[in-house]
Structure 1
Amino acid sequence: MGVFLEEILVYGVVAIFVAVVFGAYLLKLRRRTKTVEAKIEVAKQEGLHEPVSLHPVVDVNSCIQSGACIKACPEKDILGIRNGKATAINASQCIGHGACFHACPTEAISLHIGTEKRGVDLPHVDQSFETNVKGIYIAGEMGGMGLIKNAVEQGKQAVENLAKNIKGNGSLEYDLVIVGAGPAGISASLQAQKLGLKYLTLEQDSLGGTVYTFPRAKIVMTSPMDLPLHGKVKLFETSKDKLLTLWNEVLDKNNIIIHENKKVEEIKPHNNGFEVIVKNGESYTTKKVLLTIGRRGSPRKLGIPGEVSQKVAYRLIESEMIKDKNVVVVGGGDSAIESSLLLMEQNRVTLSYRKDKFSRLKPKNNQKIQDAVTQKQLNLILNSNLVSIEEKLVKIKIESGEIKELKNDLVYIFAGGELPIQFLKNAGINITKKFGEAILTKKK
């Protein structure tokens, strides 16, 4: 009888212990869920919950709450655990590196482009990066992968694939013309050099493409990459300057020339290949074309009097060289905010934005701009529109309808970019609007 009571007592203690542990687990789960739900609510209010491009989608039936996806993401707070399953929080902040996809032990995550409500225009590209126009390939941001590491890998793979199908045609000048010298274009140029192709790389602006236009201090890389003719680049939290310096060193070492300020305006069939026509009238014939252009295309103009002026720019390159100027920055995105924060250090800055509040800003940028306004480090005018630009002043229409005149030396316009959709269509490339379709799915 005594042994029986002892067993009951032991089992009772174990049961109580299990109940306490399980209760503590449920309490922790409930608290974690409430925290995540609060973050989701804030993200919705700030316009960050709805994805704008590539983003993770979780299969709740496969998720086992390992947390591996959350730990793997260098952006933080893109994903969280709610009710025991992973879920998106700040989906619009995802930059598509796929770390969560690769880290998930149960393959519960896939990467999608667009949503049911918001479509994203993408060209038709197969697994070899070839479009529906045989001989024209697309890699990098325009194909839906914007992260530098992914763009570098795609540029390399695209050249590897197209090189297999290059046939002799002595009447054409080049084996390959690469259009764009951003991350994918630089990688493609290095791979073409490695494979001994006769190629030419054209860039409408400067080496680095979109990366070149970022503010100097902007962090542009959060994970390592494998660069052809160089090897593994083990850089974390890398600034624009460091990355551009690396690229220049690798290109110089391999005697690769990037032809800058060569905007391609037309690609048309020519003698079983293509003729690539540049804005200045030059043209080149080639067997293959690889497009590594960004999604922004050409800067969007405001179309106001005085916009065609030397004092107007659509990108900020060397902010430290600008001192003691009256500057107006137009825009409400991260580029406008980051540029304003840099310019205000040595100048008198007015930030004009057409809406009544910012949305889709990175949380740090949102906090920094609010702090700057509170401390009167810059002048913020919401619900405003720039209506004209003159030699020594600008005119801004404010919410009341009144036109304000501000002393002005420089104007920076960050109104986004016009997607080069028409350019692609003119080349015969099919474009489809993707509504929440998977780009990366379960590993095989």
Structure 2
Amino acid sequence: MTGFARLHALLVDDDESAQVCRDLPESACRAQPHNYGVHVVSLSLARVGEGLADTKLVLAWLLDAIGAPTWALGLLVPVRESLAMLPQLVISARIRRLAMRKTVYVFGCVVQGATVVGFGLMGWFAQMFSCALVGIIAVALIAIFALGRSLCSISHKDLLGKTVDMGWRGSVSGTAGTIAALATLLLAIAYSVGWIPLTVPIVAGMVALGGACWLLAAFVFGLLREEPGATTGDIDGLAAVIAQLGLLRSDAQLRRLIVARTLLLSSALAPPFYIALSGDRAASGLGTLGPFMVAAAAASLTSTYVWGRFSDKSSRLVLMLAATLATLANAVAAFVALTMPTVLEEASLLPVLLFVLMIAHQGVRLGRSVHVVDMADRDNRATYTALSNSVVGLILLAGGVFGVIAQWLGIGAVLAVFTSMAALAILVAAGLDDVQAV
């Protein structure tokens, strides 16, 4: 028994797993204990890398501290998220040509790791460049990072479906998320209480360490025992995009899932507005962001494994419950911002609401990921993932409109919109098939 198989035995009840695989061939089923461990270790390392180099907090702080222009800070998240999703329609057709697809994921991890290490190096040597050049380099790095993330996103769901049986896929992401959340929580506490000084060299070093985690994740994932996959029916370029967009007309459940995901973007877009409500205007320090980092990490630590196991039972119910929590958190924040803004001076209120919101966000991430994998079969799983991600990525480009609404009508109005979106998502998710019961 390999070390990865021992990890599977430790995390999975042998009585539960000692059964005929539901949608894996026999050879892949025999390799599942080893592959389950590989997935958990590799994904945990990648998630730790994300925590050490969080785009919305750590990289933004680093760029601000080294004097990058404001336009570069504003582009970080939109470029990262949209470029991670938009290319996937075309990429999926090329990936389908490959009988063995783990190399795509490994390459994507290497790209992400290398660019994050580049961010760390930029922090160390920023004084050698002009502020404008630092901004250009930062946006270029985040764009390359996003393309690597795109390769990982589209290939990982396909590989997870090929190597881990239905009923255990959610626990892979849940376990990895819990491990990474613990590491991120310790980092957040260390930053908050001053155990780790918030200086450019130290933060840049932690960012580079995050990049190293991605590189190690690539090495571990290379140990995956993958069976050859289907390569027939591949088309490329514009023809691939047109053909795959046709699924939006023919598959009502896929349309409904994409609508639910779009409405649930409210859980991902709301956190920066919570931070803005806190009144923290420190130019080059985390200030009150320390408690927010702790709240986000604690939410991930306490919920990801539970959401993952729950998703294996019913990803539909996970999405409904996550949408309900997002509705409640945003509704309270919107109500307070619109009617009792002085209450926001209570230091613990917004971090508590963010804690609830981030629990919801973890449920959204795990629920929709497991749902799209389980609703598809082994021949169209990559296509379903690419199509849903690309459509949502295109919609995400319009996310800047919420900043305009906030400027015109106030942050409370934006949070009211997010509340309505999350509430509608409950109804839309209720119409999804219970794919795990099939």
TM range (shorter): under 0.3
- The structure with the larger Rg is 1
Which structure dedicates a bigger proportion of its chain to helix?
A: 2
Name the TM-score, length of structure 1 as normaliser. 0.24
Name the TM-score, length of structure 2 as normaliser. 0.24
